[in-house]
Chains A and B, each alone.
Chain A
Amino acid sequence: MTKFLDGYHRLLTWVLAFAVAILIVPVSIQIFSRFTALIPAYIWTEEMSRFFFIWMVMIGAMIGVRERLHFDVDLWNELSPRANAALRIVANLFVLGFTGVTIYWGIEFTKFGWNQTSELADLPMWLIFIAWPVAGVTWLLFLIEAFARDIDLYRRGENLGGNAPEKAL
């Protein structure tokens, strides 16, 4: 399970890097085509960058759950390792609720966009909308892993390795 998730995680990271790197291309074309006659002023550049952008956000949000990158607010000062583990389980239960909603309604959302195409490049819209159900399923996998880990840490009364705010880096 962990091995599979590690591989999946690496794949997502790679796709994320690709999405960030590719973002710069259509925007650059857009700028240069304005000043030179060498490149025609493609109309789809703006749309394409927006689509890559949406996928970038959603993939980052998926990885964020496993790497604990999503920012939270810490109102509690120093808690025992057990209380920390328990609190992580409670918080993740709520995230699980959101995951359920994202899977169920995300599929509805994708169905809704099944026959739509984009305004400029005529791309099928489900290619974008499907990012939500994919995110939902990915979160579900990562959350199951997190629950197993936190229950174990609670039993043993140990803290999660690493300093919590450091994830912001």
Chain B
Amino acid sequence: MGYSLEGTLLEVCTCNILCPCWVGEDPDGDGTCDSVMAWHVDQGTVNGTAVTGRTVAVVTHIPGNVLKGNWKVALFVDDKASDQQNQALLDAWTGKLGGPLADTASLIGEVVAVERVPITYDLSEGKGTLRIGTIADTEMEPYRGPTGVVTTLNESIFTTIPGAPAWVAKASKYVRKSSQYGLKDIDLKGHNAIQGNFRFEHN
């Protein structure tokens, strides 16, 4: 009943730059957040099943402060996952295996769908593309300092690897077609995107 997972995660949302949720504050705008999040496993196992290279994504409505929970979520596993990997990832991300991922899952109030779809997670240092089936299509570029180095946010409250950066980016494209799940459609430019690192371990 354990997992050891590391990789990068991406959040694209309706907040302005920079998403206040990353420091535990309320979403800006109308106080709610409609986001797309994805976790790409660079290296990891769940209950002995290797899940390296796999991506899990959620399309979510967060009704207020991120830590207050009651998220409404559609959950997606990338369709390159074998049946065994799919089950292992669902068990981990829905909280059945306990540990830090169960802490995240406890913020979810309602899971409206669980599906396997093609997921493109082509991101490095806040630059790239995330696509979730035909449901979400996003592109982003990071901010940079005067020497060209990517702007980072470090030691935010959600850090799971102390000292590891989160790359602060802007989504030139955030299109979400999710009304079939009761999650509103989005078509935005110039809003928040942040890519970070994660390490989740539980025995």
Partners in one complex: no
Show the binding face of A for B, using Cβ within 8 Å: none
Chain B residues in the interface with A (C-beta under 8 A) = none
